Amino acid sequence: MGLKVETFEPNLSELRGHPSFFETTSYKKFGYNNRPNVIGIWEEGGDGRTLILNGHIDVVPPGPEEEWRYDPWGGEISNGRIYGRGSGDMKAGIAAMIYAVRAVRELEIPINGRVLVESTIEEEDGGIGGALATLLKGYTGDFSINPEPSGLDFWIASAGVLYFKIRVKGRPAHAKEAHRGVNAIDKIWLIYNALKELNEERQKRIKFPLAEECEPYMKGHVTILNIGVISGGDWPSTVPAWAEINCRIGWPPGESVSDVERQILDKVREVSERDPWLKENPPEYSVIGWRAEPSMIDTSDPFVLKLSDLAFRVTGKRPRFCGGTAGLDTRFFINDFNIPSVGFGPIAHNIHGINESVELDSVVQVTKVIALAIVELLAG
């Protein structure tokens, strides 16, 4: 499209010093070599502002492919939708922002300022080497649109997310005299039940209307502590010497990571004090990936109001203000760089699930809104 194109691979040493840094699991597996972020730059000079269009190119695994009706990598079109892993989350959003830029350029509409078209990595794993690295590299601006699959509503809030592990040790013994050992799986079960109690306590007291009104099924569940992996022991005839659980907790704006960690550690300490073995052998807590603060943009921000007007002009309906149940790259723009950022994207179905799809008409609508935003925010 005649844009200046720049690519770079994240530099871990540059990232480590930032307060929002954590080491992602994808970095641990693959490193950052040959995993570039790609930025297209449309700059017309002048003293105008910069609009950032940011999307992530990575997707989650497809799950059991035999359960898909459509090829998860086929991009098949049926009944006005395109199917496949990542079709909604978020290849369609990236297509929308690219074609919005292409349309405005082909119409030769002058702009004053610049547009950054960003394709970044590892959002699904926390965005450290993607959106954060891109911002730290100097690709900043005055406002940002992130066309995640928001259903033509505005995602104005990003959830706090924490991945953590709790490990306990036991005392191994031969199974024929198991009573002489201490079974670590029995002990991790105490922690499991304590964390389930904590989850129930939090869900009773934490509300977030923005999420509950947009997604009524989230009422009473705007915070969730999920125990996703449990493992332990080495051999059927040996009393397990270790056991651990890996967990993910998410929560809406209103608490910090340290607030949530304190509640987890207090609950683990409480149950450990009641058990002689755990009291003498305290469980070990560690972070194993995501450690992200929540974020939220003020709905009275002029950028939000302007974008809402543009969306209404294209779609005929006012976008609702939603969010707060998933971690988004928008948090880096809002929390760390004070850049107004909104998630606004197409209507998608079954993201991260079987037969993921996106409604093609909605992709066109998002493209039109972004094109209008380029023209009206950066009028030449």
**Assigned CATH class of 4-158+294-377:** alpha beta
Contact 355, 68 (CB under 8 A): yes
Which of 43-57, 75-89, 95-109 has the weakest average pLDDT?
43-57
Side by side, the strands of the sheet bearing 284-292 are 224-232, 242-251, 160-169, 284-292
Q: Give the model's confidence band at 11: pLDDT under 50 very low, under 70 low, under 90 confident, else very high.
A: very high
pLDDT in the model for residue 46: 72
Type of residue at 146: N
pLDDT reading at 19 higher than 70: yes
As a whole-number percent, the residues of the chain with pLDDT over 70 amount to 100
**Does the predicted model carry a pTM greater than 0.85?**
yes
Contact 24, 126 (CB under 8 A): yes
Asked if CATH classification 3.30.70.360 holds for the domain at 160-292, the reply, yes or no, is yes
pLDDT in the model for residue 380: 65
Contact 48, 378 (CB under 8 A): yes
The answer for 2, left when phi > 0, alpha when psi is -120 to 50, beta otherwise, is left
pLDDT in the model for residue 80: 98
The structural domains of the chain, with segments of one domain joined by +, span 4-158+294-377, 160-292
- Residue range 112-123: mean pLDDT, rounded: 96
Q: Give the model's confidence band at 67: pLDDT under 50 very low, under 70 low, under 90 confident, else very high.
A: very high
pLDDT in the model for residue 379: 83
Instruction: Estimate to the nearest angstrom the gap between the alpha carbon of 50 and the chain centroid.
Output: 24
- Residue range 92-98: mean pLDDT, rounded: 98
Q: Give the model's confidence band at 45: pLDDT under 50 very low, under 70 low, under 90 confident, else very high.
A: confident
Give the whole-angstrom CA distance, residue 59 versus residue 128: 15
